[in-house]
Amino acid sequence: MILKSPPLLGFCAYSGTGKTTLLTQLIPVLKEHGLKIGLVKHAHHGFDTDLPGKDSYKLRKAGACEMLVASAKRWALVHESQERTGDPVLEELLPHLSLEELDLVLVEGFKHESLPKIELHRPSLGKPYLFPNVPGIIALATDLAPREDIEIPVLDLNKIDEIAEFIMGKYTGRQTSYT
């Protein structure tokens, strides 16, 4: 059996630029166009998906290496990783998604991974561009006109439909002004 492997598209930026905000606006637009979207998000610190006092939390804290909680509407798998010195890599994480059911996997963070990325940049934050120092950046989404030497497509960070059109043109084969 050959598994379908959906394309990956990363979103990279400095913390506080609005990656999650953009994605929460972008995903519904892509979904309206019939795309099934998966998402992998990098977390810089430890996190919990369940709450103290809940049975799932108690079972995981009791020592379960993996804990899957399921209901009629959704399921979630919590896997306790061994202590590691570096961040997880996408190659380890992607097999846990139902890739055969997805049209596109969006990746928040993981800026040093080898995949195409859109850089989000807000000049008001006073940070330098990641492009061209971070590999794989294929477009820049910004809220002000960028430097003149930017040689990749520039998208308006505040125009979600424009960003969605760019993505659909690049990854779905649909004709757009970017194809």
Task: Pick one of 2.70.98.40, 3.40.50.300, 3.40.190.80, 3.40.1110.10 as the CATH number of 1-42+87-179.
Answer: 3.40.50.300
pTM for this prediction: 0.86
pLDDT tens, position by position, 76-111: 887 777 777 777 889 988 998 999 999 999 999 899
Residues with Cβ within 8 Å of 26's Cβ and at least 6 positions away in sequence, in order, are 106, 160, 163, 164, 167
Q: Provide the mean pLDDT of the chain.
A: 87
Q: Are 139 and 17 in contact (CB under 8 A)?
A: no
The ranges assigned to domains in the chain are: 1-42+87-179, 52-86
Q: Provide the Cα torsion 16, 103, 113, 124; round to 10°.
A: -20
- The answer, yes or no, to whether residue 53 has pLDDT greater than 90, is no
Strand pairing partners for 69? 76
Residue 50 clears pLDDT 90, i.e. is over it: no
pLDDT at 59: 82
pLDDT greater at residue 140 or residue 178: 140
Residue keyed to tokens 């294929």: 138
pLDDT band at 58 (very low <50, low <70, confident <90, very high): confident
